[in-house]
């Protein structure tokens, strides 16, 4: 009897735990759906072809579309990744493939510092990078509020992300590949270039796309480096506003809250697409490994 009782109690506990976990998970998902759904439903009604092809007209009414902000966003992403990709990927390769063989004590210390820095910087709020970018690129270097200054600040923001994801994906490549290549008389660089990097490429690409997503969605850092001009930038030294920044301006400084929602919906769609790409790549990665 006693045994039956505990069994029933354990079964009851199991049911309750299952129910609570299910409920919590359900609520979490519902909240996310509510946010995204609200933006999409509110926003998509306002979207038309004109919305994409006309620029904002400025002023309190918030008239116009988002053409110039799309251009600015794309330009900013391209310039930022142009700076961040070689720096971040190469640093990641160095940290994983070479840093442990550094004999010089001073360099080894710097490597340790870099590792610590990369981990710390990945968690620093973006506005801090913005302040840094404002002080150095916008003011001291005299670039003013510009795509170039914003891209340099943005690169500072995503380089730690690129380094981290590059490191992670290099570490997933089995050491047996490295040994196999080195034992055939390949140099370390030949091993990296011909065996390690091709295997790590999907992971590295994923990191780069996540960084693109970050640039697209960040606001604070660009508020203090990109300025806020609603005109289409005609050079790297032009001020501008990204879509995310445009949402902020529309919501805070105009009466066109619906336009803010519409821009938000476009942003959400863009982020969804980027994540789908990431999923496709990592899905291909895991199926190749089998």
Residues that bind other proteins (CB under 8 A): 100-101, 174, 176-187, 190, 194-195, 198-199, 288
How far is C-alpha 11 from the geometric centre of its chain's CA atoms?
44
The two tokens of residue 153 are: 């600040």
Nearer to other proteins, 119 or 179 (CB): 179
Question: Can you tell me the distance from the alpha carbon of 77 to that of 30, in angstroms, rounded to the nearest whole number?
Answer: 32
Nearer to other proteins, 195 or 281 (CB): 195
Nearer to other proteins, 175 or 235 (CB): 175
Residue 58 backbone dihedrals phi, psi, to 5 degrees: 80, 180
The two tokens of residue 13 are: 């506990």
Shortest Å distance, C-beta 96 to other proteins:
13
Nearer to other proteins, 100 or 105 (CB): 100
Whether the CB-CB separation of 150 and 233 falls below 8 Å is answered with: no
Shortest Å distance, C-beta 202 to other proteins:
12
The two tokens of residue 125 are: 């709020």
Shortest Å distance, C-beta 276 to other proteins:
25
Question: Can you tell me the distance from the alpha carbon of 260 to that of 236, in angstroms, rounded to the nearest whole number?
Answer: 26
Question: Can you tell me the distance from the alpha carbon of 176 to that of 160, in angstroms, rounded to the nearest whole number?
Answer: 28
Shortest Å distance, C-beta 284 to other proteins:
13
Nearer to other proteins, 120 or 187 (CB): 187
| Strand partners of residue 56 | 64
Question: Can you tell me the distance from the alpha carbon of 99 to that of 79, in angstroms, rounded to the nearest whole number?
Answer: 29
Shortest Å distance, C-beta 168 to other proteins:
18
């Amino acid at each position: 009897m006693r045994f039956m009782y505990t069994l029933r109690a354990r079964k009851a506990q199991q049911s309750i735990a299952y129910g609570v976990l299910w409920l919590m998970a359900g609520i979490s998902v519902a909240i996310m759906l509510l946010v995204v759904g609200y933006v999409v439903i509110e926003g998509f009604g306002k979207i038309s072809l004109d919305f994409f092809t006309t620029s904002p007209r400025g002023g309190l009414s918030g008239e116009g579309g988002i053409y110039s902000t799309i251009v600015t966003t794309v330009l900013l992403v391209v310039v930022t990744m142009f700076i961040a990709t070689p720096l971040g990927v190469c640093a990641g390769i160095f940290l994983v493939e070479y840093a442990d063989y550094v004999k010089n004590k001073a360099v080894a210390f710097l490597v340790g510092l870099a590792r610590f820095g990369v981990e710390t910087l990945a968690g620093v709020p973006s506005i801090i990078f913005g302040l840094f970018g404002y002080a150095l690129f916008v003011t001291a270097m005299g670039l003013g509020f510009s795509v170039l200054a914003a891209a340099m600040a943005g690169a500072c923001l995503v380089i730690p992300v690129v380094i981290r994801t590059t490191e992670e994906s290099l570490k997933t490549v089995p050491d047996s590949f490295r040994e196999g290549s080195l034992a055939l008389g390949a140099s370390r660089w030949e091993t990296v270039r011909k065996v390690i990097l091709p295997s790590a490429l999907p992971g590295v690409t994923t990191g780069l796309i996540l960084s693109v997503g970050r640039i697209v969605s960040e606001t604070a850092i660009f508020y203090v480096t990109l300025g806020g001009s609603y005109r289409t930038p005609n050079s790297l030294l032009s001020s501008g506003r990204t879509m995310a920044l445009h949402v902020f301006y529309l919501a805070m400084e105009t009466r066109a809250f619906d336009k803010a929602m519409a821009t938000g919906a476009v942003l959400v769609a863009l982020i969804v697409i980027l994540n789908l790409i990431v999923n496709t790549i990592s899905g291909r990665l895991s199926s190749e490994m089998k």
